[in-house]
Amino acid sequence: MKKCIYLIFALLIFSACKNESKKPSEAIQNETEKVEFSIIIHGGAGSIRRDNMSEEREAEYRQKLEEAIRVGYTILKEGGTSLDAVQNTINILEDSPLFNAGKGAVFTHEGFNEHDASIMDGKTLNAGASAGTKTIKNPINLARAVMDNSPHVFLSRGGAETFAKEQGLEIVEPNYFSTTKKLKSLERVKASEKNKVASFYDADLQDSKFGTVGCAALDKHGNLAAGTSTGGMTNKRWGRIGDSPIIGAGTYANNNTCAVSSTGWGEFFIRGMVAYDISALMEYKGLSLKEAAKEVIQNKLPNIGDQGATGGIVAIDKDGNMVMEFNTQGMFRAIMNAKGELYIGMFKD
């Protein structure tokens, strides 16, 4: 009996000690929650110059970029995931006719708006993408649903639309996406094609056709995510799909390295596997995010094929360092860090 009482006593002391030893790890958890979070976005790269933009137009872009990034910032500040921050930030840009994504997407040769999007989770390397959809209001939501609720990574066209309906995503009439500005761009491009016998690859023409949107974020839990959404390139034909929905080209995220969203001349971004290449340079060569992004955008991309390509990326690494690298005249972009400091940029200077 005495032995039994000693045993119960010893067990009580042991369990008290065990509970005590939990405290430091709770404290570590609290500390983890304090880890910096950050968010970075782009609204496309191209011939964005101070001398060809009115003050009113510039203010419109600034206001929309700020509205979008604040949505993601708030999610991150409240402890939400980088995936939610990326998706909800991109939704704001998709709903704005200013950008080439969702409403305001560019027109295909045949006069339609066809959307591509992708999203990637740096923690699990899960990813979702969709291409060539015509009725999904927010293509990034479809990409997220593909990632979360399907056994696949990449859906396209009719099948993707059917899946979106089954998922209860918002469906709109195809003409919801149409804007006069983008229709005029198609007419202009077609006319110059005729006059100059230009090809799809004509640099002067293509440079003014970008406007994809993208976002990369690091959350308080140390997880990275990236996403990209686009209407592609004006005058695209034959079901053309660009880099934006291609994991590794338009979007990539890996908690060991970085999260990247690209914008630019898709054919070259695919051939250069731009987003993954930046991550790979960090992983295998030990480059910093800044060095890797510079190498890919300024040195490798311009030397792919005869043409070389224009465009840029926004990226964030696992420590919260952020980079906005582009080789065009400008790129719509914004950054917000954990302190709530906001930077918005458009032009090269």
Binding site for ligand ASP (CB under 6 A): 44, 100, 210-212, 230, 232-233, 242-244, 263-264, 266, 269
Could you tell me the smallest distance in angstroms from the CB atom of residue 308 to ligand ASP?
15
Residue 234 CB, nearest distance to ligand ASP (Å)?
Answer: 9
Q: In a 3-state reduction of DSSP, which class is residue 275? A: helix
What is the DSSP pairing of strand 322-326 with strand 213-218? Answer: unpaired
* Residue 34 C-beta: closest distance to ligand ASP, Å: 36
Catalytic status, residue 212: yes
Q: Which residues pair with 40 in a beta bridge?
A: 216, 335
Q: Are 275 and 249 in contact (CB under 8 A)?
A: yes
Which CB, 73 or 268, lies closer to ligand ASP? 268
Shorter beta-carbon distance to ligand ASP: residue 37 or 210: 210
> What secondary structure, in 3-state letters, does 65-125 show?
HHHHHHHHHHHHHCCCCHHHHHHHHHHHHHCCCCCCCCCCCCCECCCCCCEEEEEEECCCC
Which burial class, exposed, middle or buried, applies to 153 when counting CB atoms under 10 A from its CB (0-12, 13-18, 19+)? middle
Name the residue type at position 24: P
Please give the Cα distance from 341 to 330 (Å, whole number).
Answer: 22
Distance of closest approach, residue 169 Cβ to ligand ASP, in angstroms: 21
**Cβ-based nearer residue to ligand ASP, 76 or 213:** 213
Nearest approach, Cβ of residue 46 and ligand ASP (Å): 7
Cα distances from 137 to residues 123, 131, 166, 217, 295, in angstroms, run: 27, 13, 15, 23, 36
* Residue 245 DSSP symbol: T
> In the complex, what is the shortest distance from the CB of residue 343 to ligand ASP, in angstroms, rounded to a whole number?
21
**Nearer to ligand ASP (CB atom), residue 65 or residue 76:** 65
**Selected catalytic residue, list 81, 212, 228, 251:** 212
Taking the least distance from each CB to ligand ASP, the nearer of 104 and 242 is 242
Beta carbon nearer to ligand ASP, 107 or 210:
210
Which amino acid does the sequence have at 36? E
Q: Which residues contact 95 (CB under 8 A, 6 or more apart)?
A: 102, 103, 138
Distance CA 297, CA 213 (A): 18
As a residue count, the chain comes to 349
SS3 261: strand
Instruction: Indicate the SS3 state at residue 26.
Output: helix
| Structure tokens that stand for 259 in this block | 């999260």
Q: Compute the distance between CA of residue 64 and CA of residue 172 in angstroms, rounded to an integer.
A: 22
Rounded least distance, CB 267 to ligand ASP, Å: 7
Structure tokens at 142: 């479809």
Closer to ligand ASP by CB, 97 or 222: give it: 97
Instruction: Count, in order, helices (H) and strands (E) of the chain.
Output: 10, 12
**Residues tagged active-site:** 212
